[in-house]
Amino acid sequence: MIQEKKLVEEVSGWLRVYDDGSVDRTWTGPPEVKFMAEPVSPHEQFIDGIATRDVTIDQNSGLRARIYLPEEENPKFPIILHFPGGGFCISQADWFMYYQFYSRLAKSIPAIVVSVYLRLAPENKLPAACDDGYAALLWLKSLSKGESNEPWLNTHGDFNRVFLIGDSSGGNIVHEVAKRSGFIDLNPLRLAGAIPIHPGFVRAQRSKSELEQPQSPFLTLDMVDKFLALALPNGCTKDHPITCPMGSFAPPIDTLNLPPLMYCVAEKDLIKDTEMEYYELLKKANKDVELFHSTEMGHSFYLNKIAIDTDPVTAAQTSELIEGIKVFINKHGKRS
C-alpha cells in the first residue's frame, strides 16, 4: 500500500512542502496572475530591441544565468548583475515578471543584464543563494581577466561598470555580495554601484509597518514568516545577518567597504520600517547612499504587469524607477 505524502507547509498559493521533503511550486492562487510566474524561453534573435540567452556559469555546480543584450549601437554597455526575489524560496530568472521589467531596463539604460538562476530553499537553505550571487560576480571577474569567455559579455560588456541589483530577497543578496566583494581584489572588474530594491530586511519582532500596511500579492505576512523560516539555517530567526544586516548579529555597517548604493523603498511596503532602519545606518556610517522613494506603491510593484497595464499610477511609478536607475548608473558608471 502506497502511503500518501502529507502537506506540512503551504505559503500563500506559491509553495507547498510535504513530509517526504518534496516541494511543489505550482501556482494555486488566482489563475489570471499565473502568467507572471511562467518561464519565458530565451531568444537569441532580437525581439523588441532585446535578445536573451541562458549560459552556464559553473559546469561543476550547474549554476546558470540569463543574459539580456540590448540592440543598440554602443561600443560597450554597463553590466547589471541581477538577483531575483521570492523570499529565497520561489521564482527563477526566466519568469515573465522579471523578463518584462529587466528587458525594459536593459533597453532604457542601455545595459547588459545578467540574471542569476539562484538555488532555492528549503532544498538549499541560506547562504546558498548568496553563494550563487557571489559566484556569479567572481565569474564576471574571470571574464574581465580573460580567464574565461562569454561572447556577448566579452564583446559588448564594460567590466569597469558593473552594478548589482536585486528585488526583495534579491536585495538581501545585493548586500551580501557587496559586503563580500569589499574584502577581495576584483581588478580589472570595478563594482561601480549596488541597487537593492525593496530588500527583505526584517527583524524577529514585528515592525509597525508590518502591522499597519496593507498586504499585497507580492508580499503577505504569511510569506514573510514562512518563506524565511524555510530559507534560514535551522534554529535561526529573522534576526540572522542575511535577513537583518542592521541587527546585533551582523557586522557593523561602518566596518564594511560598500560601493555607492541606490536604495529603493516603497511608501506602502509591509517591511518599510526595517528597510528604512538599514538606510539610516548607512547614512550614519557615512556610506555613499541615495534613497529612491516610490509614493503610494507596495512591495515589488514594478514586477506586477497587470497593475502596470491597468493602473496609471503604477505605470508612472515604474517609469520613474527605471529613470532613477538609469540616472544612478550613468552617474556612477563614469570610467575611473
**Cα separation, 48 vs 200, whole angstroms:** 32
**Pairing relationship of beta strands 64-70 and 77-83 according to DSSP bridges:** unpaired
Q: Is 269 a catalytic residue?
A: yes
Give residue-wise pLDDT tens across range 87-108: 999 999 999 999 999 999 999 9
Please tell me the predicted confidence (pLDDT) of residue 204: 97
Please tell me the predicted confidence (pLDDT) of residue 216: 86
How much is the pTM? 0.97
Largest CA distance in the chain: 69
In eight-state DSSP terms, residue 2 is P
pLDDT at 3 over 80: no
Give residue-wise pLDDT tens across range 212-261: 999 988 899 999 999 999 999 999 999 999 999 999 999 999 999 999 99
**With pLDDT > 70 as the criterion, what percentage of the chain qualifies?**
99
Question: How is residue 45 written as a grid cell?
Answer: 534573435
pLDDT at 313 over 90: yes
pLDDT at 301 over 90: yes
Q: Which of 279, 165, 291, 297 is nearest to 218 (CA)?
A: 297
* Residues 317, 233 contacting (CB under 8 angstroms): no
Catalytic residue among 12, 91, 144, 168: 168
**Per-residue burial over 142-163, b = 16 or more CB atoms within 10 Å of its CB, e = otherwise:** ebbeeeeebebbeebbbbbbbb
Q: 3-state secondary structure string, the chain? A: CCCCCCEEEEECCCEEEECCCCEECCCCCCHHHHHHHCECCCCCCCECCEEEEEEECCCCCCCEEEEEEECCCCCCEEEEEEECCCCCCCCCCCEHHHHHHHHHHHHHCCCEEEEEECCCCCCCCCCHHHHHHHHHHHHHHHHHCCCCCCHHHHHHEEEEEEEEEEECHHHHHHHHHHHHHCCCCCCCCCEEEEEEECCCCCCCCCCHHHHHCCCECCECHHHHHHHHHHHCCCCCCCCCCCCCCCCCCCCCHHHCCCCCEEEEEECCCCCHHHHHHHHHHHHHCCCCEEEEEECCCCCCHHHCHHHHHHCHHHHHHHHHHHHHHHHHHHHHCCCC
Please tell me the predicted confidence (pLDDT) of residue 4: 85
Catalytic residue among 94, 132, 158, 269: 269
pLDDT at 336 over 70: no
Please tell me the predicted confidence (pLDDT) of residue 136: 98
Please tell me the predicted confidence (pLDDT) of residue 334: 79
Give residue-wise pLDDT tens across range 192-202: 999 999 999 99
Give residue-wise pLDDT tens across range 8-31: 999 989 999 999 999 999 999 899
Please tell me the predicted confidence (pLDDT) of residue 74: 81
Tell me the domains of the chain and their CATH numbers: 41-331 (3.40.50.1820)
Give residue-wise pLDDT tens across range 166-191: 999 999 999 999 999 999 999 999 99
Average pLDDT over residues 127-137: 98
Average pLDDT over residues 49-64: 97
pLDDT at 121 over 80: yes
Backbone angles phi, psi at 276, to 5 degrees: -70, -30
Q: Is 168 a catalytic residue?
A: yes
Residue identified by cell 499610477 is 313
Give residue-wise pLDDT tens across range 142-171: 999 999 999 999 999 999 999 999 999 999
Please tell me the predicted confidence (pLDDT) of residue 191: 98
pLDDT at 75 over 90: no
